Amino acid sequence: MSAAMTEPDDLEGPDAPAIGGESVGAPVVIGFAKDGWRDAYHWLLTMPIAAFLALAIAAFVAINALFALGYMLTGGVTGARPGSFLDAFFFSVETISTVGYGELAPASAPAHTLVTTECFVGLFNLAIVTGLLFARFSKPTARVMFSQNAVVTVHEGQPTLMFRAANKRRNRIVEAEVSLSMLRDSVTAEGVAMRGFEPMQTIRARTPVFYLTWQVMHRIDEASPLFGETKRSLAARRAELVVVLRGLDETFSQTIHARTSYPANRVVWDRRLADMFSIDGEGRTVIDYTRFHDLE
C-alpha cells in the first residue's frame, strides 16, 4: 500500500518546514486565504526595524505630497510661489507637524478645510506610529544563545543527548523551563504517512534561576524517541529536535521565550560538549564562552 499523507489536528503538515528553517523547504500552501490588511498590526510589529522606518518615511512623504496637490487645487497657499509644488509640500509638512513658521498660510476656505483635515490625519498618524514604536521597543525578548550542535554521548553510563543554552543578557530569567520534542515522519499501520511531534523528557526541565549557562540533557532509554536511532535513520525520517525555552524576565516581569532546533545534520554522535568551566590561580570559577560551541 502506498503511503498517503494526512495532517491530524495535533500534528504538523506532511511538508511542514523545519522549525530552524534548515532541513526542509517551505511548503506550497493552497486554498488558505491571507488576512491581508486585517493583520497589518502584526505585520508592522514583526517586520525588520529598517523596513519599518523606511515604510514610515515613505508614508510621511506620500501623505504630504497628496495634501500638497490638494492645496494647489484649492486656492493655493499665501506666501508660496505660484504653482510651486515644493512650497505646497513644505507647507503641508509644517501643518501636519504643527510647526507653523508663519510665512505660509492657507489662501481660501477650501484650503482651510484641507488644513483641518490634515491636522486630524497628522494626530491620527502620530498616535499610530507612536504606539507601534512603543510596542516594538517595549516588547520583551529573550537573548538566549544555544549551542550550534547537540551531541549524543555517554553520561553516567547511559547514552544521553546534550546541548546547552546561555543567557546573553546579564539579568536573570526566573522559573525557566525547557521543553524538547522530536519532529519526524512516521507511517501508521494503515500505511498513512504522518509528521508529528513526540515529547522528549529532559533530566532537568526547570531551573529556578537561569543566569549564565544551562546544559540540557535527555536520557536515551527505551521510552526515548531517540532509542535505536542513528544519524542516518534520523535523516531518512527528516527528524528534527525542537527546543523551546521560556521563563519570566526579572527586569520586565514578563514572560519571554526562545526557540531553536537541531536537524539530523546538527546532532553529533560520540562527541561531548567542551568544558567551559575552570578554576584560576585565585580559586575563582572562570566561564570561557569562547568554548561554548566547541566539541570534544
Task: Check residue 3 and give its pLDDT.
Answer: 43
Do β-strands 240-249 and 206-210 pair in parallel, antiparallel, or remain unpaired?
A: unpaired
Q: What is the pLDDT along the chain (296 residues), one digit of tens a residue?
A: 444 444 443 444 333 444 544 444 556 777 666 666 667 888 888 888 899 999 999 999 999 999 999 988 887 788 888 888 998 999 999 899 888 787 888 888 888 889 889 899 988 888 988 888 888 887 777 888 999 999 999 999 999 999 999 888 878 889 999 999 999 988 888 888 888 899 999 999 999 988 888 999 999 999 999 999 888 999 999 999 999 999 998 887 888 889 999 999 999 999 999 888 888 888 888 888 888 898 98
Task: Check residue 83 and give its pLDDT.
Answer: 83
Q: What is the C-alpha separation between 276 and 291, in angstroms, rounded?
A: 6
Instruction: Give me the domains of the chain, ranges plus CATH numbers.
Output: 47-138 (1.10.287.70), 144-291 (2.60.40.1400)
> Angle at the Cα of 9 (from 6 to 14), degrees rounded to 5?
35
Task: Check residue 250 and give its pLDDT.
Answer: 85
DSSP 60: H
Fill in the amino acid letter for 202.
Answer: T
DSSP 48: -
Q: What is the C-alpha separation between 16 and 263, in angstroms, rounded?
A: 13
Q: What is the C-alpha separation between 244 and 18, in angstroms, rounded?
A: 14
